[in-house]
């Protein structure tokens, strides 16, 4: 089998918060008539420059056309040569590599008549515990809205949440106070996610204040500036909870292990450049005696299904994971979305081939956008994932 063509289609999908995220859907065509689909998820992250889709399509065609899609390691190597790691969490090259690698698993799975989980090593679980994100409070007035989000999601079956924290600690405290009072044993918060916004000392002070609420924490996420391996190692010894951090390059993961900076590796294909890289990172974590969680950029269903297949095959996925993207968006581009049940992401059935997602062309047409251009979105909107322009 040979890859004969590639298509990239950009879509802009609104969230319930009003924020519109741009994703790129990948189609790989072959001389056997089998088609692989993938997702370059969520280009709506800083830095505020955009890839040129036409140029990207041409560049990727020059790498991929004529290749045997089963040569996944070789293709990944060539993709890495063209889109090198950058020691940066939101490096757009990683999103590009991830979308292509995902489409290869879809394609090869479909050709063989097996699911992507089987290609990734087989399943040790059929569902993955996940949490719903509560976006960062900038103002006290947002507490009401966020409590309402919890109410609605608890009704729907979610019982674990993740709080983006650290911008307005008073508001965080108000939220936690109300959360514990109203939801008691019905719901818990698995992590305070500081998203690298604070230095480790400031984060440590914030944790001391937020810690007084009994919310069932599993971990503290990203409580230091990006690539501050020493800072993470310091704070790790000062707080009682495990520390987790995202993985965005081999080098960064090596430094985190060498300095024993964290306890839990937060792994997402989009940030490490694909399922292949994510699986490697999870194995490295396992070899270092560490746990992992599946992180998220908030993917659509294709990207989320890919993570479900990956998670199904991981032996050290021993904390609550994050992918709930399809629940955050008002629409998707597939016929049947991934399924959440009682706070779990279900791994697509063994009977499906590849990722098990089928594109809905009418939805693609509806949400199609011409390019990945930014317009006027502010940094605050990007950090808060909201359409509201607040300063
Ligand atoms: C999102 O898009 O909501 C997340 O990727 C935000 C983040 O950076 O954690
Ligand atoms: Mg994102």
> Residue 43 and residue 12: Cα distance in Å, rounded?
10
- To the nearest 10 degrees (0 to 180), the angle between helices 142-156 and 169-183 is 40
Q: Whose CA is nearest to atom 6 of ligand 1?
A: 297
> Residue 387 and residue 380: Cα distance in Å, rounded?
10
Q: Is the peptide bond before 47 cis (omega within 30 degrees of 0)?
A: yes
| pLDDT at residue 284, as a whole number | 98
CA distance readout (Å), 86 to 74, 93, 247: 20, 9, 12
| pLDDT at residue 391, as a whole number | 56
Numbered ranges of CATH 3.20.20.120 in the chain: 122-346
Q: Which of 89, 105, 111, 164 is catalytic?
A: 164
| pLDDT at residue 384, as a whole number | 82
Q: 90 catalytic, yes or no?
A: yes
Residue pair 41/22 in contact by the 8 Å Cβ criterion: no
Residue 27, phi then psi, degrees to nearest 5: -125, 125
Q: Which of 245, 385, 386, 387 to mutate to test the pocket of ligand 1 (most atoms within 8 A of CB)?
A: 385
| pLDDT at residue 385, as a whole number | 85
Q: Which residues of the chain have pLDDT under 70?
A: 389-391
Q: How far, in Å, from the CA of 298 to the mean position of ligand 1?
A: 6
pLDDT tens per residue across span 158-197: 999 999 999 999 999 999 999 999 999 999 999 999 999 9
Q: Is the CB of 298 under 6 A from ligand 1?
A: yes
Q: Is the CB of 297 under 6 A from ligand 1?
A: yes
**What sign has the CA pseudo-torsion 389, 162, 223, 171?**
positive
Q: Which of 312, 319, 388, 381 is nearest to 350 (CA)?
A: 312
Q: Which of 90, 105, 340, 344 is catalytic?
A: 90
Q: Regarding the domain with residue range 122-346, which homologous superfamily does it belong to in the CATH classification? A: Enolase-like C-terminal domain (3.20.20.120)
pTM across the whole model: 0.97
Numbered ranges of CATH 3.30.390.10 in the chain: 3-117+361-390
CATH of domain 3-117+361-390: 3.30.390.10
Q: How far, in Å, from the CA of 381 to the mean position of ligand 2?
A: 12
Angle CA 119–275–359, to nearest 5 = 80
Tell me the three state secondary structure of residue 50: coil
Give the residue ranges of DSSP H helices in the chain.
53-64, 72-82, 92-112, 116-119, 142-156, 169-183, 200-210, 229-238, 250-258, 269-272, 275-287, 301-312, 325-328, 361-367, 379-384
């Amino acid at each position: 089998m040979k890859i004969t063509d590639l298509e990239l289609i950009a879509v802009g999908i609104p969230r319930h918060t009003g924020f519109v995220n741009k994703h790129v859907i990948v189609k790989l065509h072959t001389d056997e008539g089998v088609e692989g689909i993938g997702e370059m998820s969520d280009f709506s992250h800083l830095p505020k420059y955009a890839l040129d889709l036409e140029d990207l399509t041409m560049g990727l065609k020059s790498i991929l056309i004529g290749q045997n899609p089963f040569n996944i390691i070789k293709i990944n190597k060539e993709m890495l040569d063209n889109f090198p790691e950058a020691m940066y969490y939101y490096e757009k090259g990683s999103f590009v590599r991830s979308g292509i690698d995902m489409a290869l698993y879809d394609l090869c799975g479909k050709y063989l008549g097996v699911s992507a989980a089987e290609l990734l090593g087989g399943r040790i679980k059929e569902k993955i515990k996940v949490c719903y994100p509560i976006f960062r409070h900038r103002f006290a007035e947002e507490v009401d809205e966020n409590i309402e989000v919890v109410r609605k999601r608890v009704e729907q079956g979610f019982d674990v949440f993740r709080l983006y924290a650290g911008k307005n600690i008073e508001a965080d405290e108000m939220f936690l106070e109300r959360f514990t009072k109203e939801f008691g044993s019905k719901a818990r918060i698995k992590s305070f996610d500081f998203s690298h916004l604070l230095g480790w000392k400031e984060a440590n002070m914030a944790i001391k204040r937020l810690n007084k609420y009994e919310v069932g924490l599993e971990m503290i996420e990203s409580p230091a500036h990006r690539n501050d391996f020493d800072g993470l190692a310091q704070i790790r010894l000062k707080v009682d909870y495990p520390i987790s951090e995202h993985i965005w390059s081999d080098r960064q993961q090596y430094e985190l292990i060498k300095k024993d900076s964290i306890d839990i590796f937060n792994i997402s294909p989009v940030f490490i450049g694909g399922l292949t890289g994510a699986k490697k990172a999870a194995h490295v974590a396992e070899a270092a005696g560490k746990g992992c969680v599946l992180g998220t950029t908030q993917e659509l269903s294709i990207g989320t299904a890919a993570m479900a297949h990956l998670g199904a095959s991981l032996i050290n996925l021993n904390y609550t994971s994050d992918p709930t993207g399809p629940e955050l968006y008002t629409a998707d581009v597939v016929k049947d979305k991934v399924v959440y049940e009682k706070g779990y992401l279900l791994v697509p059935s063994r009977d499906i081939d590849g990722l098990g997602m089928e594109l809905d062309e009418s939805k693609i047409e509806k949400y199609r956008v011409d390019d990945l251009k930014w317009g006027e979105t502010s940094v605050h909107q990007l950090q808060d994932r909201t359409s509201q322009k607040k300063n």
